[in-house]
Amino acid sequence: MKKIVLQEMHFFLSIPAIIWQVVFLWLPLLLLACISFYSKSYGISLVHYWNICDISHFKVIFRSLLLASVNSFLCLAFAYPIAYFLAFRAHRAKDLLLFFLTLPFWVNFLLHVYSWFFVLERNGILNDILLRFHIINEPLYLANSLFAIGLVMFHSYLPFMVLPLYIIFEKLNYSLIESSADLGATVSQTFMRITFPLTLSGARIGFFLVFILSFGEFLIPTLMGGGKLFFVGTLISNYFLLDQNLAVGAAFTTLSGVVLSGALLIAFLMFEYVYYKTTRAQ
């Protein structure tokens, strides 16, 4: 018995995580799906889905997909050089830089987002700097805009992209990169044929994390958007908290989840295609 327990220790250690996932993820999702199909007047029906099948709801979903895609690709582009620097160039300052990278997680997220108002508002720090250097003649309206939403979301979720990449870079044999340079490969060739294929797993994990969080975000668009634009997270919160319309909110949540799953599948296939093309080129 003891031998079996030791052999299957990884399974027994994963049981609490499995229970947590079932209770707090899959059961609530199943409950939402059941609520979305139930109507007091018609019983089991698709009436709530018909209510949300209009252009305004699909615009909200498309806007959220676009925001999540742009934010994920921007985070991926900036995370690669940061993770590379932390893994191979930081040396003694590595621990300190990692501390600063994770420092935002120590601060309340609401306070973290709201502090950007002091930077982006009309009389904020950014406008003050631009005016002092005579880059602009009058203050810009940066807060309560799509730019503010994208900037704060990029700043908030960049660590979720950097950390998975950094972990993969730490395991990467740097001599492979050096050998590629010694054999005459350019920086771009080394990245596409050596670095990217070997770090694709970290890039994929980070991309999925940022994409999922960005797609369902409601706090940043609410605070930084000034209520001008609706996204999936804000519309869901309005259905459940303001309108108290649980059935339609559940239907829209389920529909958004299906669209998100499809988008993640497309992203997965995209990564697989890029990996196939880069490895085939070798």
C-alpha–C-alpha distance, residues 167 and 239, integer Å? 39
Dump pLDDT digits (tens) for 235-267. Answer: 999 999 888 889 999 999 999 999 999 999 999
| pLDDT value at residue 1 | 58
| pLDDT value at residue 66 | 96
By C-alpha distance, which of 146, 118, 167, 152 is closest to 231?
Answer: 146
- The alpha carbon torsion through 218, 221, 222, 226 (nearest 10 deg) reads -170
Mean pLDDT taken over the chain: 89
Work out the pLDDT band at 194, boundaries 50, 70, 90. Answer: confident
Average pLDDT over every residue of 167-173 = 92
| pLDDT value at residue 165 | 96
Question: Where are the chain's structural domains?
Answer: 1-36, 47-280
Between residues 68 and 48, the one the model is more confident about? 68
| pLDDT value at residue 263 | 97
Dump pLDDT digits (tens) for 89-122. Answer: 888 888 899 999 888 888 888 888 888 988 888 8
| pLDDT value at residue 85 | 94
The model carries a pTM of 0.90
Dump pLDDT digits (tens) for 119-162. Answer: 888 888 888 888 888 888 888 888 888 899 999 999 999 999 99
C-alpha–C-alpha distance, residues 123 and 115, integer Å? 14
| pLDDT value at residue 105 | 84
C-alpha–C-alpha distance, residues 144 and 39, integer Å? 38
By C-alpha distance, which of 139, 163, 146 is closest to 229?
Answer: 146
| pLDDT value at residue 114 | 85
C-alpha–C-alpha distance, residues 193 and 83, integer Å? 18
- Classify 47-280 by CATH class: mainly alpha
Evaluate if residue 9 carries a pLDDT over 80.
Answer: no
Evaluate if residue 282 carries a pLDDT over 70.
Answer: no
| pLDDT value at residue 232 | 95
C-alpha–C-alpha distance, residues 178 and 193, integer Å? 13
Evaluate if residue 281 carries a pLDDT over 60.
Answer: no
